[in-house]
């Protein structure tokens, strides 16, 4: 695919974008969970169930706050930044106007997702009276993207940024999908996830197409250089440090004995996924490498051999 073949999705955006079609969602005060148990394994641990099962909802509310905080950082600091520079034609890779227009719809969608997430934060605080513990000021990508870009020569920096954002936009999608299907969770929270997912379906294809267009024009030397950076980016992206320090702060905030606190911390430390082909996000990442055509290149196949089955 080259740039001249690019088809805009502007019509689909007009008729389906959640900012165009969805009323405000209101958090319901019912008995359902505010966050899926499966996404905060701390509350399913033996120690938690024995020592403080009554603090489960507190832990789930705090984990929802962390999720919302991550969404706001991802949307406003990561995706917005790259999409906006494409829209404004400030990107080193030149894209046709139709791409730039679609990039602007991504900016609008992402800032709207951040707004909706902040709305759920304020609704949850109002309903539960629980205020957030200290939330991280960065996400894994806040470190992984600059680390990858720093490894690239000047003329490849924006291409590397584009590929990193495209990877991220193609992995979170599957991650949120599991969330939207969980019937133990409040309807409004599931609706929030389903809305987000609907927009992200459009985005993931958009980023994959931009990467295809770029890759098509890249020289063999440039491809090889980028291929070597990919596994380093993935290593940073999949680390568990930020989640783990959040979980530790959450454990600190529980009303439990010191012995229980100690036991919970060691249980949480054992929960991290390995950074290899068995990590749950890797299947999504590999699918993106196929759909964007990167994996057609032997240099990419070689560089990613640890992640390929």
Q: Give the binding site for Fe ion (CB under 5 A).
A: 110, 113, 169, 200, 203
If the CB atoms of residues 51 and 200 are measured against Fe ion, the closer one turns out to be 200
If the CB atoms of residues 99 and 156 are measured against Fe ion, the closer one turns out to be 99
Minimal distance, residue 195 CB to Fe ion, in Å: 10
Quick check: 87 and 100 in contact, CB under 8 A?
yes
If the CB atoms of residues 66 and 203 are measured against Fe ion, the closer one turns out to be 203
Residues 6+ apart with CB under 8 A from 115: none
Minimal distance, residue 74 CB to Fe ion, in Å: 7
If the CB atoms of residues 57 and 175 are measured against Fe ion, the closer one turns out to be 175
Interatomic CA distance for residues 13 and 228, integer angstroms: 36
If the CB atoms of residues 47 and 204 are measured against Fe ion, the closer one turns out to be 204
Distance (Å) of CA 277 to CA 45, 56, 284: 25, 32, 11
Interatomic CA distance for residues 231 and 306, integer angstroms: 9
Residues 6+ apart with CB under 8 A from 256: 51, 52, 55, 264
If the CB atoms of residues 75 and 182 are measured against Fe ion, the closer one turns out to be 75
Minimal distance, residue 39 CB to Fe ion, in Å: 17
Tell me the three state secondary structure of residue 33: strand
Burial 202-241 (b: 16+ CB within 10 A, else e): bbbebbbbbbbbbbeebeeebbbbbbebbeebbebbbebe
Minimal distance, residue 9 CB to Fe ion, in Å: 13
Residue nearest to Fe ion (CB): 203
Minimal distance, residue 204 CB to Fe ion, in Å: 8
DSSP state string for 233-278: HHHHHT--HHHHHHHHHHHHTS---HHHHHHHHHHHHTTPPPSSTT
């Amino acid at each position: 695919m080259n740039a001249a073949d690019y088809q805009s999705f502007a019509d689909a955006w007009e008729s389906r974008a959640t900012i165009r079609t969805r009323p405000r969602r209101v958090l319901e005060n019912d008995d359902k969970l505010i966050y899926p148990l499966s996404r905060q394994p701390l509350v399913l641990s033996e120690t938690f169930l024995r020592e403080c099962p009554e603090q489960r909802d507190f832990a789930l509310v705090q984990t929802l706050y962390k999720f919302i905080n991550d969404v706001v950082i991802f949307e406003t600091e990561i995706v917005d930044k790259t999409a906006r520079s494409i829209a404004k034609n400030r990107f080193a890779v030149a894209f046709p106007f139709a791409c730039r227009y679609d990039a602007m719809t991504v900016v609008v969608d992402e800032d709207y997702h951040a707004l909706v997430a902040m709305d759920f934060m304020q609704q949850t605080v109002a309903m539960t009276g629980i205020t957030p513990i200290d939330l991280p000021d960065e996400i894994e990508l806040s470190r992984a993207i600059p680390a990858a870009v720093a490894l690239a020569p000047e003329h490849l920096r924006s291409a590397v940024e584009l590929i990193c954002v495209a990877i991220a936009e193609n992995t979170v999608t599957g991650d949120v999908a599991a969330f939207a299907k969980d019937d133990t969770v409040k309807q409004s929270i599931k609706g929030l996830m389903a809305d987000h997912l609907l927009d992200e379906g459009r985005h993931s294809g958009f980023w994959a197409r931009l990467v295809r267009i770029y890759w098509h024009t890249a020289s063999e030397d440039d491809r090889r250089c980028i291929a070597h950076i990919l596994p380093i980016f993935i290593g940073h992206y999949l680390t568990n440090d930020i989640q783990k320090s959040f979980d530790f702060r959450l454990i600190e905030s529980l009303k439990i004995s010191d012995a229980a606190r100690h036991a919970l911390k060691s249980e949480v430390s054992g929960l991290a996924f390995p950074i290899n082909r068995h990590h749950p996000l890797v299947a999504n990442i590999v699918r993106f490498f196929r759909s964007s055509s990167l994996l057609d290149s032997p240099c990419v196949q070689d560089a990613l051999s640890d992640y390929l089955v």
